[in-house]
Structure 1
Amino acid sequence: GFAMYALLFAGAGALVSRQEDATGVTMPIIVALIIPYMVGLTVLPASPESTLVLVLAMIPLFAPILMPMLVGVGAVAAWQVVVAVVLTVAMIVVLVWLAGRVYGNAVRRSGTRIALRDALRAG
């Protein structure tokens, strides 16, 4: 989970050249961290076998937060943990390529904030 979020923040950080712009770029990533945390605090204690929690725990962005909570309460099968880990590792592989591409293209255009679309397309 740490590697996945570190790659997301690194790619987002490469899009800005001023520290003041960093908040706007990283806000979606922070929201992706807060959503599973809030679901884990509100829905999980009341209904650990909720379909919402089980589905969200499989999504790579949410798995590092929700899956340990589900394992802790014993509400998840071993195959679900394996699927979540495999999907998260696959996401990390994609993010290594994506963050590298964004960083490589954004460095060439230092001085201004770069749209994600432009950072991916430039070459």
Structure 2
Amino acid sequence: MERKAGFWIRLGANLLDGIIIGIPLAILAYIIDGGTDQGYTDNILSFLYSLLLPVLWNGYTIGKRICGIRIRRVSDLTPPGIGTMLMRNVVAGIVYAITFGIGVIVSAFMIGLREDKRSIHDFIAGTEVVYDN
């Protein structure tokens, strides 16, 4: 049985993604739109990165790969598909927005305190984040 990834390692992977991917995406977005669209291009590129890369790269983002963790489906232990990632990112994002960010805080506590280390978006999508073998 693989070890579940907790709060700090997941936070570290997200920070790495933000630094390694976020800065180049912001520069690319600035080049594409000339800095006139108030960050919409950057948001779209970031969304596509977080949606598509785990599907194409067996549950990894660059930050998760560096930290040695990955997303997988709980039901069959396979990497997430596009539907799973849409549930994880879009539906969970809607839930977090409706709760005015309180859901994000609850999710952080869930990852830190629950034995299975699953958050709200993990439950919505049927996923978990685990360490590599």
The TM-score, its normalising length taken from structure 1, stands at 0.31
The structure with the largest strand share of the pair is 2
Structure number, greater radius of gyration: 1
Higher relative contact order (CA 8 A, sep 6+): 1
The TM-score, its normalising length taken from structure 2, stands at 0.29
The structure with the largest helix share of the pair is 1
